[in-house]
């Protein structure tokens, strides 16, 4: 990779790796069919939200109410795949689960936006796509196969930050130095009360906030 570290992947490199790792999900970039849905459920501040997503982009931001608000678009090259896609959305007390399902071996993805109470613990596992978390207080356990993670939150909120990539960069201005070559690792200890754990197999992690 001329003029660049092996750990810094261009969008083209990431696209190639994505297709090599998950061939059934790769297709041309124009989706012929799509369908958009919204949903909202009452929740409690300080609860735990679990999200499972195979392919797509996920953005989580804090809202101004004790609700989880879901807005998503399912996209595919086949109309049947859009109709057969489904979402499980369950809330039991202070525990919520969101799981996105698409027909197996199909070119289908979800574009998801979530609005949650400002104080919400997150447990997110995603295979392919970009994951963004903005202004959400609480513990975070974020795991991504191929794509980028971006987290925007104040440093002072955390007691522990562990961010790592197998292939890619970790950018955390103010969190200290990273270590590693092909993959990067960042460890940070602070005076806050929350923990952030983030891992990407192929891609970058960016931590923002003062």
Q: Is residue 87 part of a domain?
A: yes
Which ranges in the chain belong to alpha helices (H)? 11-21, 79-84
Residue 5, domain member (yes or no): no
Q: Can you tell me which residue has the tokens 């609005």? A: 115
Structural domain contains residue 6: no
7-11, 62-66, 73-77, 100-104 — which is least confidently predicted? 7-11
Q: Which residues contact 166 (CB under 8 A, 6 or more apart)?
A: 182, 183, 199, 200, 201, 202
Which token pair is 87? 């979402």
Q: pLDDT digits over 145-196, tens only?
A: 999 999 998 888 999 999 999 999 999 878 888 888 889 999 999 999 999 9
Instruction: Give domain status of residue 3, yes or no.
Output: no
What is the pTM for the complete model shown?
0.85
Structure confidence by residue, pLDDT tens digits, 79-97: 999 999 999 999 999 999 9
Residue-wise pLDDT for 126-150, tens only, equals 999 999 999 999 999 999 999 999 9
Question: Quick one: pLDDT band at residue 6, thresholds 50, 70, 90?
Answer: very low
Write down the pLDDT at residue 12: 43
> Measured between alpha carbons, how far is 22 from 26 in angstroms, rounded to an integer?
7
Distance, CA of 58 to chain centre: 5
Q: Is residue 1 part of a domain?
A: no
Q: Look at the chain and report how many structural domains it folds into.
A: 1
- CA distances 19 to 6, 24, 25, 112, 166, Å, are 19, 8, 7, 21, 17
Q: Does 146 fall in a domain?
A: yes
pLDDT of residue 181: 85
**Does residue 60 carry a pLDDT above 90?**
yes
Is the residue at 4 inside a domain? Answer: no
Which structural domain range is residue 163 located in? 11-208
* C-alpha triplet 116, 11, 179: angle, nearest 5°: 75
* pLDDT more than 70, % of the chain: 85
* Residue 121 counted as domain residue: yes
């Amino acid at each position: 990779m001329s003029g660049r570290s092996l750990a810094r992947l261009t969008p083209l490199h990431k696209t190639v790796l994505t297709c090599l790792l998950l061939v059934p999900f790769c297709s041309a970039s124009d989706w012929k069919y799509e369908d958009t849905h919204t949903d909202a459920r009452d929740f409690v501040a300080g609860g735990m939200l679990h999200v499972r997503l195979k392919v797509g982009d996920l953005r989580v931001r804090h809202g101004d109410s004790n609700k989880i608000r879901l807005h998503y678009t399912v996209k595919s090259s086949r109309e049947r795949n859009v109709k057969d896609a489904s979402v499980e959305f369950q809330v039991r007390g202070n525990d919520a689960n969101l799981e996105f399902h698409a027909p197996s071996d199909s070119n289908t993805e979800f574009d998801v936006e979530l609005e949650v109470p400002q104080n919400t613990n997150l447990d997110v596992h995603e295979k392919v796509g970009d994951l963004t978390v903005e202004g959400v207080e609480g513990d975070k356990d974020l795991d991504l196969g191929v794509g980028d993670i971006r987290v925007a939150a104040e440093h002072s909120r955390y007691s522990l930050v562990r961010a790592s990539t197998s292939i890619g960069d970790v950018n955390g201005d103010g969190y200290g130095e990273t270590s590693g070559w092909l993959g990067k690792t960042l460890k940070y200890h602070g005076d806050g009360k929350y923990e952030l754990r983030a891992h990407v197999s192929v891609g970058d992690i960016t931590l923002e906030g003062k």
